[in-house]
Structure 1
């Protein structure tokens, strides 16, 4: 349970860690993107600025060339040609720079090509005009035409430069708008991500704090459990050991040393040191059992003896189980228990069992004597009483006849008592064989045994159909016979006995008489009569041996019959109850497990 709780907690923290790491990566990515966009925008601004500067330089150089060329036309002073001559070289340098930095698509490249043609045309025009000046043809129509084309070309150059500057400015504006849009969204997104990260950190902190409290509580419980385990080891005379097979290392608990009769930690925990305590006659078997532990995951209990240093021999019960962890490391975890007291008790029980067997044999011998040797002189006494009645009854006085009758009744009661005791002892015999039996047959046989009494008292017996049940047949026959005899014996003098035998299959939960029973369903057989009944306060006593509720002069019997019934029901793991009301009748309920 503890392992599952911490596994879930660790899994939860791993998820939070992964999510947090993912969010940090997202923040880093957006930060990098934001910086990259800012750098790109800066490059765009710088690039546009450089392009515009170079374009302005081109225009400026061309204007200088144009002005110098015009001053030369007017004055024919060659010193004015210096700006014109240097302008070409400067324009070429700026134009080369523009090709490097004005890399903004095909449109701008096309503009550079057109601008290059215009500049070439302008300088060609300058050269042609210079030719007219050297030939002093400044007033010719061709010169005028050429001079006018110079103005048109210069205007075209200015227009194209303005187009290029406008294009660069439009690109710059577009990049700035996109950058501003990103700049507005990025802080909000970063704030939300940071807020989520902060929430996750707070949750993680709370979870770690809760886990820490749980760990402290569990550690406290483990300390208590460890101390309790130590005390249990001492009380139960247990000892634990661990054998780390791969490392060839052993660990013994403190109480294992005590079981061996030594102080904790008094010797190094090794196999050789431990086996030195094993009884010489058990060492070979013990070593083999330990070897089997390495081959099998677990073994049944092993038993051996140890000899303490003072010579005391202890009987030990041991157990070991092979465990392999995720790294493939093997170890055997074992337990030893001092069972010397159990062995002593077992020997005592064995001795008592032998005494009981001897007593049972003597009891069987007594039963034999009771059934043969005691009954034989009793039969002779009854025979002589019978002959005395036949031949000497007339010669006896009234007191003699009265004494003879008492002797006769006592001998009869003695005969019944011996028969009942034999029957009771018979129900205690261990050789009880359960057979699937039809109870209707046993009931009919019991009726046949008391047929004479039924006819004599004109008894009416009705019964339901009884089931087929797993029982000890002769005992259940005796049960039915005793209950029928009991109802017939204690019937009313002036009223014919009416005996009803009813059957039903019930659940133990539905009957208050079935409390703390092992089975769910029971066969319920009820014997009810209209006899003299009894006081309900004696409902338990009537099942006790030799217990009689009525005077022996009024009703014959020995007080053993119902005791036999109780014993028979106990042998069948059932329940029997009695319910009575004086001068109304008796009800006996029998419960046999299904």
Structure 2
């Protein structure tokens, strides 16, 4: 949205520049057109003036010629007045014509020729009336001179008509140019004004769209502001900004609430803020604020504030600088109430301390189980053995049965203690992972079970295992428990057969791996032909002390598979079970590949 508005502002700015340019062009063209029209008008007026002056010259000559004739006929000198005044008038007209023709070479040359003819004609006038014999108009010299004057007058008339014809042609040309300028100027101005109107419409349309977008943006910003306020309230944090250039702060409403005050209840300054800080934290926080102003950054800092009601709250603050649209550096900060986290952390520390105490007690129990409990158990079994060897003949059948039950109970007690010790060992924190030869560990596990394997004639086959990074003694215990389970729960009259396979698999292709942290895993599958189990109990069999069979039918404490699960979890792996009654069971172990 912000990018769109920025583009629209750029568009409007461009429209403004183009409109200003069009206005300048319109003004320039208008000035040029007016200048051209004025020039055309001046040229037309100039041509008219030239024609008028030429007509005047011809008129003055005609007046002089008429006066000459009147003088010849009447011999009255008053008729010479047009001739006498005509000379000065002709000179004045020629002076005006020279000025008008200064930029016209053709007219200037024509005026020179015309001036020569006029001078000759005026000289002929003068010669005619001065050489005229008294009352003798039939004098041949006079007649000849008079005829010459007429010829000159015809030449002057033709010269003036030629000049006027040239000027008329020029006048027609200038009239056409004037009309063309008068027609082209409005058309051009109309076109430019039309373009201006189109640009104004485009700008108006863009402004209208921008106003709609701004309105929608303002509504979104109001919603976002309210959402932010609610989010700050729910998450117990507030925001603040520091303008580096103006050294001014702004606080969000919820930052005031974190201090136990109403929103905007005091001026947002460092001095006012420090009045709420716990007295023991004021000095440290003041130093951190000075470092913030120096580095324009605020790393995570922790301090306490005290509300007016005496409640102490733990706060955490962080700030990061940025540059705004006015090219000003602003530090944008967040302050969060972490009082609940501090309380939870203290509770967790107390629980960890309690857990540590429990672990120590458990270690003490392990010591008791491995030494103090086993010692009297060994004595019980020893004295039972002596009683059975030395006094069995003196016991009644009932007493013998009691001794057998005591022996069975003591054996189960020893198994239970051993399994508890194994389970305790699997929970110990000192787990050292080593690159191990799994084949050797597997052979060691079979040696631990050698007597049972031999007694049951069990057949065990396995793939070759690669080296793995494991806790060796725990993996050996895992093999012992799984192999021992498969032999223990054999089918009646059937030789136990156990097969172990290995392959490397991808986590996302195996159903038994949930939320994997590695991509590849070692997959170990233990398959037997024993009595199996109902698959409904596939998860239950890994529960501590859980048994699916009566203790009189099969020995065991219900701890073995729990130990297996714990060992696999220690290796960040997975173990699953699948069974079918009277057909056997399958245990699958997934160990991650680092």
TM-score (norm 1): 0.89
Distance across 2 between alignment mates of 1:526 and 1:227: 58
Unaligned runs of 5+ in 1: none
Q: Is the 8 A contact 1:420 1:561 kept in 2?
A: yes
Residue matched to 2:273: 274
Distance across 1 between alignment mates of 2:305 and 2:15: 56
Residue matched to 1:58: 57
Q: Is the 8 A contact 2:37 2:182 kept in 1?
A: no
Is the counterpart of residue 305 in structure 1 residue 304 in structure 2? yes
Residue matched to 1:22: 21
Change (3 A) 1:481 1:159: farther
Q: Is the 8 A contact 1:443 1:480 kept in 2?
A: yes
Distance across 1 between alignment mates of 2:463 and 2:140: 154
5 Å matches for 1:324-363?
332-363=331-362
Per-residue CA distance 1:483-528 (angstroms, 9 max, x = gap): 2222233233444333333333333332333344344443333222
Unaligned runs of 5+ in 2: none
Distance across 2 between alignment mates of 1:448 and 1:194: 106
Distance across 2 between alignment mates of 1:444 and 1:153: 152
The Cα shift of 1:546 comes to 1.4
Q: Is the 8 A contact 1:47 1:102 kept in 2?
A: no
Greater CA deviation, 138-147 or 162-171?
A: 138-147
Per-residue CA distance 1:170-189 (angstroms, 9 max, x = gap): 33333444455555555555
Q: Is the 8 A contact 2:501 2:526 kept in 1?
A: yes
The Cα shift of 1:82 comes to 1.4
Is the counterpart of residue 165 in structure 1 residue 164 in structure 2? yes
Q: Is the 8 A contact 1:294 1:322 kept in 2?
A: no
Is the counterpart of residue 418 in structure 1 residue 431 in structure 2? no
Corresponding pairs, count: 593
5 Å matches for 1:464-475?
464-475=463-474
Greater CA deviation, 151-160 or 84-93?
A: 151-160
Per-residue CA distance 1:331-369 (angstroms, 9 max, x = gap): 554443333333222222222211111111111111111
Residue matched to 1:208: 207
Change (3 A) 1:419 1:42: same
Residue matched to 1:380: 379
Q: Is the 8 A contact 1:121 1:153 kept in 2?
A: yes
Residue matched to 1:517: 516
Change (3 A) 1:402 1:167: farther
Aligned-residue CA RMSD in angstroms? 3.2
Q: Is the 8 A contact 2:500 2:525 kept in 1?
A: yes
The Cα shift of 1:288 comes to 0.8
Distance across 1 between alignment mates of 2:358 and 2:203: 76
Q: Is the 8 A contact 2:41 2:178 kept in 1?
A: no
Residue matched to 1:551: 550
Per-residue CA distance 1:379-414 (angstroms, 9 max, x = gap): 222333333444444554443333333322322222
Other structure's SS at 1:553 match? coil
Change (3 A) 1:150 1:484: farther
Residue matched to 1:98: 97
Change (3 A) 1:262 1:79: same
Change (3 A) 1:212 1:592: farther
Q: Is the 8 A contact 1:297 1:323 kept in 2?
A: no
Per-residue CA distance 1:171-211 (angstroms, 9 max, x = gap): 33334444555555555555554444434333333332232
Distance across 2 between alignment mates of 1:185 and 1:501: 103
Distance across 2 between alignment mates of 1:295 and 1:519: 45
Residue matched to 2:150: 151
The Cα shift of 1:57 comes to 1.4
Q: Is the 8 A contact 2:47 2:167 kept in 1?
A: yes
Change (3 A) 1:112 1:492: farther
Q: Is the 8 A contact 1:536 1:579 kept in 2?
A: yes
Other structure's SS at 1:133 match? coil
Is the counterpart of residue 219 in structure 1 residue 218 in structure 2? yes
The Cα shift of 1:294 comes to 0.7
Residue matched to 2:109: 110
Distance across 2 between alignment mates of 1:189 and 1:499: 103
Is the counterpart of residue 78 in structure 1 residue 72 in structure 2? no
The Cα shift of 1:292 comes to 0.4
The Cα shift of 1:10 comes to 1.3
Residue matched to 1:562: 561
Other structure's SS at 1:517 match? coil
